[in-house]
Structure 1
Amino acid sequence: MSSQEGKIAIITGANSGLGLETAKALVERGANVILAVRNLSKGEEAKQFIISQTKTEFSSRLVVMSLDLGDLQSIKRFAESFQATYNQLHMLINNAGVMVPPFSKTKDGFELQFGTNHLGHFALTGLLLPVLKKTEDARIITLSSIAHRGAEIYFDNLDGEKGYKAGKFYGQSKLANLYFAIALDEKLKEASSNIKSIGCHPGISSTNLFRLGRETSPWFVKLLLPLISQSAEKGALPILYSATHPDLQGGEYIGPNGAGNRKGFPAIEKPHQSAANREVMDRLWHRSEELTGVTFALEN
Structure 2
Amino acid sequence: MAPWTSADIPDQTGRTAVITGANTGLGYETARALAAKGAHVVLAVRNLDKGKAAADLIVRRYPGADVSVQELDLTSLTSIRAAADELRARHDRIDLLINNAGVMMTPKQTTQDGFELQFGTNHLGHFALTGLLLDRVLAAPGSRVVTISSNGHRFGSIRFDDLQSERSYDRTRAYGQSKLANLLFTYELQNRLAATDTIAVAAHPGSSATELGRNLPKVVEWGFGLTVQRSEMGALPQLRAATDPTVRGGQYYGPGGLLQMRGYPKLVSSNRRSHDVAAQKRLWAVSEELTGVTYPLG
Compute the TM-score of the two structures, normalised by the length of structure 2: 0.94
**Corresponding position of 2:151:** 146
1:1-36 deviations in Å (ceiling 9; x for gaps): 111111100000001000000000000000000000
Other structure's SS at 2:226 match: helix
Deviation at 1:133, TM superposition (A): 1.4
CA distance in structure 1 between the aligned counterparts of 2:196 and 2:157, rounded to whole angstroms: 30
State yes or no: 1:245 paired with 2:248: no
Indicate which of 3, 14, 19 corresponds to 2:27: 19
CA distance in 1 between partners of 2:86 and 2:277 (Å): 35
1:284 is aligned to 283
Cα gap change, 1:218/1:173 in structure 2, threshold over 3 Å: closer, same or farther?
closer
Q: How does 1:109-120 map to 2 (within 5 A)?
A: 109-120=114-125
SS in 2 for 1:11: strand
Cα deviation, residue 226, structure 1 = 3.8
Which amino acid is the alignment partner of residue 62 of structure 1? V
Tell whether 2:43 aligns with 1:35. yes
- Equivalences for 1:1-300 in 2 at 5 Å? 1-52=9-60, 54-58=61-65, 61-189=66-194, 192-212=195-215, 225-299=224-298
Q: Secondary structure at the match of 2:285?
A: helix
Q: Following TM superposition, by how much is the alpha carbon of 1:40 offset from its aligned partner in structure 2, in angstroms?
A: 0.4
Letter in 1 for 2:52: E
CA distance in 1: counterparts of 2:134 and 2:276, whole angstroms: 26
Rounded to whole Å, the distance in 2 between the matches of 1:122 and 1:149 is 21
Distance 1:170-1:258 versus aligned 2 partners, 3 A rule: same
How far residue 51 of structure 1 moved from its aligned partner, in angstroms, is: 2.3
Shift of 1:93: 0.1
By how many angstroms is 1:225 displaced? Answer: 4.0
> Does the CA contact (< 8 Å) of 1:4 and 1:29 recur in 2?
yes
CA distance in 2, matches of 1:7, 1:14: 17
* TM superposition shift of 1:232: 0.6
Q: Does the 8 Å contact 2:99/2:148 carry over to 1?
A: yes
State the distance in 2 between where 1:225 and 1:254 align. Answer: 19
Query: Unaligned stretches of 5+ in structure 1?
Result: none
Instruction: Tell me, in whole angstroms, the C-alpha distance in 1 between the residues paired with 2:16 and 2:260.
Output: 30
1:20-75 CA-to-partner distances (Å, cap 9, x unmatched) read 000000000000000000010111111122223x22322xx110110001100111
Q: C-alpha displacement at 1:260, in angstroms?
A: 0.5
| Separation of aligned partners in 2, 1:32 and 1:268 | 27
- AA partner of residue 241 (structure 1): R
Q: Unaligned stretches of 5+ in structure 2?
A: 1-8
- Whole-Å Cα distance in 2 between the matches of residues 149 and 220 of structure 1? 18
Q: Distance in 2 between matches of 1:136 and 1:67?
A: 25
Q: Contact 2:187–2:275 (CA<8 Å) still a contact in 1?
A: no
Displacement of 1:151 in angstroms is: 1.3
Q: Is the 8 A contact 2:155 2:173 kept in 1?
A: no
Contact 1:193/1:298 (8 A) holds in 2: no
Q: TM-score, normalised by structure 1?
A: 0.94
Task: Give the share of equivalent positions with the same residue, in percent.
Answer: 46
User: Is the contact between residue 206 and residue 225 of structure 1 (CA under 8 Å) also seen in structure 2?
Assistant: no
Distance 1:77 1:297, change over 3 A: same
How far 1:150 sits from its partner (Å)? 3.1
Assess, with a 3 A threshold, how the Cα gap between structure 1 residues 197 and 140 changes in structure 2: closer, same or farther. same
Q: Which amino acid is the alignment partner of residue 276 of structure 2?
A: N
Which moved further from structure 2: 173-182 or 155-164? 155-164
